[in-house]
Structure 1
Amino acid sequence: MERTLISELKSGERVKIQGWLHKIRSLSKVSFLVVRDRSGMIQCVVENDKFEIQGIKLESVLEIWGTVVEGKNSIRNIELQVERINTINLVEEELPITINTSKIESNLETQLNNRVLSLRNENNNYIFKVQAMLSQGFAEFLINEGFTQIYTPKLVAEGAEGGTALFKVNYFEKQAYLAQSPQFYKQMMVASGYERVFEIGHVYRAEEHNTSRHINEYVSMDLELCFIEDEQELIKLETRMLKSILSKIEENFRDKFNMLSIQVPEIQQEIPQITLSEAIEILKMKYSRNGLTTDLDPSAEKQICEYAKREFNSEFIFITDYPRSKRPMYTMPKGEFGTRSFDLLFRGVEITTGGQRIHEYSKLIENIKYKGLNPEDFNFYLDAFKYGMPPHGGLAIGLERLTAQLLGINNIREATLFPRDRTRLKP
């Protein structure tokens, strides 16, 4: 008999299920086993005089044959009358964490040290199903918009952000680095005639921070496209993309979100946008914040999002016109000191950085020097600008940050399968 997924069980069928023992409750004559597979849970009714179940610990892997019948229980309106049980793999030790509750009581460090077990918890498990759909929605939208998915190197000779915060790697007789962004390769690919490209891949940042919103390896959802007028085209594209992705999330996770009181944000026709200088003035006037000049710190991002929610009824807000001093060498200048760049803030945290890029070779050389860098270090990248680079731009979204903000998770490590930060390299 072939296996039937628990979500596909129907009353009256004789079936075989396979999964983990989630809970057990024994009475004098019968025992109730709750079995879990990837699709859901089912209560299984066992007659105690026919089966020996005393030695079976929680999370043991079971194979059960039986008949599906109607029944009243807290899980579903059906249950499985057990005819045969096979223990595929018996748990020998006591579990280091309790996972069959709505919320694991162990602290985050303990959960991450026992990541495989912690992910079996239903409410932890769904985080990464949502994350997978965010990534899928990103890809589907862009493919429908004529983008080609690409896969760029993660071992590189130079950093895309000017050579700072890089992890060094011994590469035979040379020194290499882990890529902190696919930026150079995205730009090279739009110049290769693809025009529109995207990548979903890991990037690495060697900043020595240790906060609830930073990790040193994360998944970046990047896109780049050419023949644009300015950064406003990118803002419009991301707005349409987010509407599409969030609609997909709403459709697939409505019941789960309602159960957990999670709200999917609504996006009106446009996401509001203000310049950085306007944001700084608002923070000064509304929140008595002084000393902000060229960027927003984490508390300022939260305050601007509070302002956007109150004034525009939006949980998203674009901040535009960042200064040249705060943007990478490839960012298109706007006037003498500004740039055609933007960040997107969502519920108090920056989730996107993007903007128009410099496409003229001579201007790019000039800006590299302006940033205090040596153009000769970037010859492999600069060559693409000698042979017909069109006007272009792009953006990047941090997948774990987007997941955390959408689900109301306070620490980005909870939205990361196997986090890598200043202290964690295992599991």
Structure 2
Amino acid sequence: MRTKSMLGSMVMWICGRHSPRLLTVEEGGKWRKAVDGRTVVAVSSLGQDMKDSEVLLTGRVHKYQGKSNKLGFLVLREKGYSDPKSAIKGTTQQVEIYVRKVFCISKALTQLLLDVDAASQKEEDEQDASGERRTPHVSLDTRLNNRVLDLRTPANQAIFRVRSHIENFFRQYLLALEFDSIHTPKLLARKINGGASVFCLDYIGKDASLAQSAQLHKQMAISSGFTKVFDIGTYFRSERSSTNRHLTEFVTLNVEMELKYHYNEVMDLVDGLFADIFMQVNQSCANQLDAIAKQYPFEPLKFLPNTLRISFERGVQMHE
């Protein structure tokens, strides 16, 4: 035995890099026979506790290199990643797998409209020292027109996961402070006062609009006796400006609360909330941040545990 632990055999389910297709009756029968009674195991979860067992792995083919009719190498991508959690230090590791059967559920097109490797490149990596392009540049239009493929890049996968974590950190922090989660309507009567332009639409013969914020309904909740509420939702504004600060559709994290003593209570809440989110992002999303930085380099997030506070008078003096 060459390794410390060895799996008896493996059935591998492989997906191509394009849209899936349905199995034929014959293929489906073979597939069900191969996977019946087996549990899908993540590649990152393989360990010595599975010694001499039969496992079912699934993944997408990131790279394939055929050496001969009987020998080939596959690199599987799982959840947008193909790199192992720890560096490989030798040709044999803690786990060795004997492949018993391989199923290709969906084959990729001969020429994809968007290559995942090309879409994962940094702008500076696409050019050599003389400025000549080494890899084809993937335009934003190409990415958006092939969004399913574009979302398979490690950076995009990581961005969505960081967003998911931030939403969870926001929610958990406020729930711990006894805030109530509410869901405000997104379809409103057209004549709603607000400072932004709204999208108007027909609601079964009546005028209506898409919500531009949760402000009115949060205030209604507070006036109804809910002392502390928050809302996470999508809102719409008919903004004609073409900048990254004028979005027509966006997700907001809203908070509304009663003030017991002083307006400083709002600063205390926001200060603690942001510090907690920043700290947890740095601690819990290190792998995702690293994946994003490889394609979109950025400086590590730095912040003070307690935000500096100055009086208005002091601020005016500093400005002068």
TM over 0.5: yes
Residue of 302, 305, 313 corresponding to 1:268:
305
Q: Could you say what secondary structure the match of 1:100 adopts?
A: helix
Cα distance, 1:267 vs structure 2 = 2.3
Q: Is 1:98 paired with 2:115?
A: yes
Residue of 138, 141, 149 corresponding to 2:181:
149
Cα distance, 1:39 vs structure 2 = 7.5
Q: Look up the match of 1:244.
A: 276
Q: Hey, what's the Cα distance between the residues in 1 that align with 2:98 and 2:142?
A: 37
Q: Which amino acid aligns with 1:134?
A: I
Q: Which amino acid aligns with 2:64?
A: I
Stretches of structure 1 that go unaligned for 5 or more consecutive residues are 44-69, 286-427
Q: Could you say what secondary structure the match of 1:87 adopts?
A: strand
Cα deviation digits, residues 320-360 of structure 1 (max 9, x gap): xxxxxxxxxxxxxxxxxxxxxxxxxxxxxxxxxxxxxxxxx
Cα distance, 1:143 vs structure 2 = 0.5
Residue of 38, 48, 54 corresponding to 2:79:
38
Matching of residues 109-258 of structure 1 within 5 Å: 109-157=141-189, 158-162=191-195, 164-258=196-290
- Counterpart contact for 1:159–1:166, Cα < 8 Å: no
Q: Could you say what secondary structure the match of 2:39 adopts?
A: coil
Residue of 68, 92, 108 corresponding to 2:140:
108
Q: Is 1:23 paired with 2:55?
A: no
- Counterpart contact for 1:160–1:181, Cα < 8 Å: no
Q: Could you say what secondary structure the match of 1:25 adopts?
A: strand
Q: Look up the match of 1:10.
A: 47
Cα distance, 1:160 vs structure 2 = 4.7
Cα deviation digits, residues 273-311 of structure 1 (max 9, x gap): 6759958984xx7xxxxxxxxxxxxxxxxxxxxxxxxxx
Q: Could you say what secondary structure the match of 2:225 adopts?
A: helix
Q: Hey, what's the Cα distance between the residues in 1 that align with 2:228 and 2:302?
A: 28
Q: Which amino acid aligns with 2:114?
A: I
Instruction: Specify whether residues 30 and 220 from structure 1 end up closer, same or farther in structure 2 by C-alpha distance, changes over 3 A only.
Output: same
Cα distance, 1:24 vs structure 2 = 1.2
Cα distance, 1:38 vs structure 2 = 2.2
Q: Which amino acid aligns with 2:166?
A: L
- Counterpart contact for 2:161–2:288, Cα < 8 Å: no
Q: Hey, what's the Cα distance between the residues in 1 that align with 2:108 and 2:308?
A: 51
In the comparison of the two structures, how many residue pairs are matched? 254
Cα distance, 1:27 vs structure 2 = 2.5
Q: Hey, what's the Cα distance between the residues in 2 that align with 1:219 and 1:277?
A: 35
Provide the alpha-carbon RMSD of the alignment.
Answer: 3.0
Q: Could you say what secondary structure the match of 1:194 adopts?
A: coil
Q: Hey, what's the Cα distance between the residues in 2 that align with 1:3 and 1:267?
A: 44
Instruction: Specify whether residues 131 and 279 from structure 1 end up closer, same or farther in structure 2 by C-alpha distance, changes over 3 A only.
Output: farther
Length-normalised TM-score, structure 2: 0.70
Cα deviation digits, residues 221-240 of structure 1 (max 9, x gap): 00100134443221210110
Instruction: Specify whether residues 160 and 7 from structure 1 end up closer, same or farther in structure 2 by C-alpha distance, changes over 3 A only.
Output: farther
Q: Hey, what's the Cα distance between the residues in 1 that align with 2:317 and 2:275?
A: 28
Cα deviation digits, residues 371-399 of structure 1 (max 9, x gap): xxxxxxxxxxxxxxxxxxxxxxxxxxxxx
Cα deviation digits, residues 142-187 of structure 1 (max 9, x gap): 001110000011111233524x411001112321111000100000
Q: Which amino acid aligns with 1:17?
A: L
Identity %: 28
Cα deviation digits, residues 175-219 of structure 1 (max 9, x gap): 111100010000000111111100000010101011133320000
- Counterpart contact for 2:232–2:251, Cα < 8 Å: yes
Q: Look up the match of 2:130.
A: none
Cα distance, 1:103 vs structure 2 = 2.6
Length-normalised TM-score, structure 1: 0.54
Instruction: Specify whether residues 136 and 230 from structure 1 end up closer, same or farther in structure 2 by C-alpha distance, changes over 3 A only.
Output: same
Stretches of structure 2 that go unaligned for 5 or more consecutive residues are 1-37, 123-136
Structure number with the higher strand fraction is: 1
Cα distance, 1:113 vs structure 2 = 1.7
- Counterpart contact for 1:190–1:226, Cα < 8 Å: yes
Name which structure has the greater RCO, CA cutoff 8 Å, separation 6+.
2
Cα distance, 1:78 vs structure 2 = 5.7
